[in-house]
Structure 1
Amino acid sequence: MNYDTFIDQVAHRTKASSERAVALTSATLETLAERLTGGEVLDLAVQLPKPLQLVLKPSPRIEAADRFGAAEFIARVALRADVEEAAARDAVRAVLTTLREAITGGEFDDVMTQLPRDYREMVEPAMAPGATLRRSGL
Structure 2
Amino acid sequence: MNYDTFVDQVARRTGRSAEQAVELTRATLETLADRLTGGEILDLAAQLPAPLQVVVKGGAEAADRFGAQEFLERVAFRARVDEATARDGTRAVFVTLREAITGGEFDDVAVQFPRDYRDLVEPAMAPGATLRYS
Kept after mapping to 2: 8 A contact 1:38/1:58: no
Distance change >3 Å, CA 129–CA 22, structure 1 → 2: farther
Ranges of 4+ aligned residues in structure 1 off by more than 2 Å: none
Cα separation, 1, equivalents of 2:80 and 2:17: 15
Cα separation, 2, equivalents of 1:16 and 1:31: 20
| Structure 1 residue runs without a partner (length 5+) | 132-138
TM-score by length of 1: 0.90
Kept after mapping to 1: 8 A contact 2:30/2:58: no
Cα separation, 1, equivalents of 2:49 and 2:33: 16
The structural deviation recorded for 1:102 is 0.2
| 1:99 paired residue number | 97
Residue identity in the other structure for 1:49:
P
The structural deviation recorded for 1:58 is 5.0
| 1:74 paired residue number | 72
Cα separation, 1, equivalents of 2:10 and 2:20: 9
Kept after mapping to 2: 8 A contact 1:29/1:55: yes
Kept after mapping to 2: 8 A contact 1:41/1:58: no
Kept after mapping to 2: 8 A contact 1:75/1:85: yes
Cα separation, 1, equivalents of 2:87 and 2:128: 18
Cα separation, 2, equivalents of 1:54 and 1:88: 21
The structural deviation recorded for 1:128 is 1.6
| Structure 2 residue runs without a partner (length 5+) | 130-134
TM-score by length of 2: 0.92
| 1:43 paired residue number | 43
The structural deviation recorded for 1:25 is 0.1
How big is each residue's C-alpha offset from its partner over 1:79-105, in whole Å with a ceiling of 9 and x where there is no partner?
000000000000000000000000001
Cα separation, 1, equivalents of 2:127 and 2:10: 14
Kept after mapping to 2: 8 A contact 1:42/1:58: no
Cα separation, 2, equivalents of 1:53 and 1:103: 12
Matched, 1:22 2:5: no
Q: Larger C-alpha radius of gyration, 1 or 2?
A: 1
